Structure 1
C-alpha cells in the first residue's frame, strides 16, 4: 500500500488529502476518484489543474509524469453536490462570462500585462462563492486572452512603406513616443522611439552603452548603433 499526501485547493480553501493506492505511481483517474470521494465533487464536474496542465484530459496519465509528488498543491474547479444536485445558476454563468469579457476588452485596449489585468479584475469583482469556485484561473484564460490581443495588434509590415497607428506613437500618458520618422531612400527609413523622460536620462548620462538584438528583428529591419565622441 502506498500513500501520497496532497493539498487540494478548491475555492478559497485548501484541503489535505491522502491518496491511498496500490501503485507507487498512481494515475490521474485514481486522483479524480479520491477527490470525488473526499470532497464530494463528481468526476465529470472536476477540472483539475496543476501548473497549467488540465489533468483530467488524460485519466490514465501517471501523476509523477506531471511532477506531482508529496505535498504538491493541486487546484480543483467544480461544484460539490448536495442532496438537490445543485449546478451553476444562470446568474453565476453570467458573472463568469462578464468577468472574461472585462479582461478581454482590457487586454485589447491596454498594454497592461495580462496576469496583472486578471489580478486587478479579481480584486474589484464582487463574485459569489459559487462563481469564485467555477472561475477559470489566469493561466487557463491566458491563451484565449493573448489570442484576442494579438488579433488587434497590427501585423509586422513587409516593406518600409507603412503607417504607424497613433496609439503606437504615444506613451501611456499621451506624450510623444515616436520622435523621428524619416525616409532616407525609398528602401531606407529611420524610426526612433523615446519618451521625454528617457531622453533626459540619456542626455544626462556620463556613459552610454549600446547594444542591438539583431536576431529578433524582422527581416526588413536593421538595428544599427553609432557613438561618436565629441
Structure 2
C-alpha cells in the first residue's frame, strides 16, 4: 500500500514541478482520479492512506519553488522574460517593460486592448 501512496505523491510532485495549476487543485485532482466508477476496497484504502493536504503541502510548494524565478529585492533586479511574457496560449502578454523612471510593466493581450478601446466607459482603480 505504501508503494501506491508514494506513487500518487510522486505524481503530485511532478505536476507541481511541471504545471502552474494551484497546488491545492493538483492535490484534489489526483485524489479525484483515484475515485473512479470502479472504486473498490483497495482504492478506498489507498485514498485513506494518502497524507492530508496540510501534512504534504510544504513538500509540494518546495517542488514548485525550484522552478519559479527568485523574487527580486530591488526594482533593478526585476527581469521578466521567457514564458512569463506570454499567455498560456503563447500570445504576447508583456506589452511594455519600462525602467526609465522606476519600473513600469504593462500586461495585456491585443484582444484585451481591442475590447478596451471599443468601450464607451473605462473605470480605473485608485492604484493606477
User: Which 5+ residue runs of structure 1 have no aligned equivalent?
Assistant: 1-91, 214-224, 226-230
* Structure 2 spans left out of the alignment, 5+ residues: 36-41
Distance 1:108 1:160, change over 3 A: same
- Separation in structure 2 between the aligned mates of residue 132 and residue 142 of structure 1, nearest angstrom: 16
**Selected match of 1:141 from 52, 56, 61:** 56
Distance 1:152 1:207, change over 3 A: same
**How far apart are residue 162 of structure 1 and its match?**
4.2
Bigger strand fraction: 1
Tell me the equivalent position of 1:97: 6
Question: What TM-score do you get using the length of structure 1 for normalisation?
Answer: 0.45
Corresponding residue for 1:89? none
Q: Distance in 2 between matches of 1:170 and 1:139?
A: 32
Q: For residue 128 of structure 1, give the secondary structure of its aligned residue in structure 2.
A: helix
Report the TM-score when normalising by structure 2.
0.74
**Is 2:79 the partner of 1:163?**
yes
Which whole-Å deviations, capped at 9, do the CAs of 1:89-137 have from their partners, x for residues lacking one?
Answer: xxx2122112112212222222211222122222324773332221123
Per-residue deviation, 1:168: 1.0
Distance 1:97 1:195 in 2: 41
Q: Quote the residue 1:209 is aligned against.
A: 123
Give distance in 2, aligned partners of 1:120 and 1:197.
Answer: 31
Aligned Cα RMSD in Å?
2.5
Q: Which has the higher contact order (CA 8 A, sep 6+)?
A: 2
Looking at CA atoms only, which structure, 1 or 2, has the larger radius of gyration?
1
